[in-house]
Amino acid sequence: MTGTGLIGRVRDAGAGVGPVGRQSPGWQVVAEQECRDLWWSGRGPGLVFAFSVVLSVMTYLAGTGQVLNFLEQREAVNLTLQVAVAVGVLVTLVVSADAISGERERGTLESLLLTPVSRRAIVVGKLAAALSLWLATFVVSVPYLWVLGRGVSLVGAALLLGLLVGTLLAVALALLGLLISAVGSSNKVSLAVSLFVLLALFAPTQLPGGTPKGWFGDLLVRLNPVDASLHYLAAVLVTGHTWTRDLSLLLSPLVTAVLAGGVLVAAGHRIVRLHGGVSGE
């Protein structure tokens, strides 16, 4: 290689030099190094451990409620799956919100921007690394869902449904986090805005009286990508709707992903900068 660490590997990728003499895509090199930083630094394992603790508590409560006939088996599986998806995408958003603004403050973004890799490749690589955390949390949730759903033909459908819907939501929130991180004036601002977004998205799902009824309540659900995704899971797993009946509920996470991803792709060269904010040039 012509350099050391991430910068050297990215320069080699831009020059068409891979680990075995083959051309390596720049985004792949960025993703590999970002994954190493995420998992070897202890951040990834720490977040997954915290996730497993939360899921253990929720599984215990759901299992206890099931034994006491407070929850049916479908409701117990749905509750645990919703928690797994919600917390999994939460940590994904937090990690992606630190991806660009954090590197900017640590003084490593300048060298990365000077490499032959495009801004878009940097964004894609960081997105892939953030999604690795979502996939890890989903794998951790598998045994919990199996324990709650054993004995009924529900676990397979719940796992597949959770993987598909959760991945869509994770991509949407990870792209949103990267966008916030790119335009944030500082890492503290990026994390604060991301936490505010999380609060705004998750608060409606925790209202004591539930979502308001009627067309206005339905509109609020559909505009909120998190709430809409969780309602879709409940409609299939608890109510017994077919997978295609309520697909319109997944429009908001899809639109969020398209809009945030579109801005990053179209204006990546302007917003992935050494200083926060969008260039006026």
Per-residue pLDDT reduced to its tens digit, 76-118: 888 889 989 988 988 898 888 888 888 777 777 777 776 677 7
Q: Are 133 and 98 in contact (CB under 8 A)?
A: no
Band (147; pLDDT cuts 50, 70, 90) = confident
* Alpha-carbon span 84 to 106, nearest angstrom: 32
What is 9-40 written as a DSSP string? HHHHHHTT--TTSS---HHHHHHHHHHHHHHH
Angle at 36 between CA 188 and CA 180, to 5 degrees: 30
* Position 137 pLDDT exceeds 50: yes
pLDDT at 245: 92
What's the pLDDT at 160? 93
Answer whether residue 232 shows pLDDT above 90: yes
Q: Tell me the pLDDT band of 168, cut-offs 50, 70 and 90.
A: very high
pTM: 0.82
The token pair at 21 is: 């003499």
pLDDT given at position 165: 94
pLDDT at 18 over 90: no
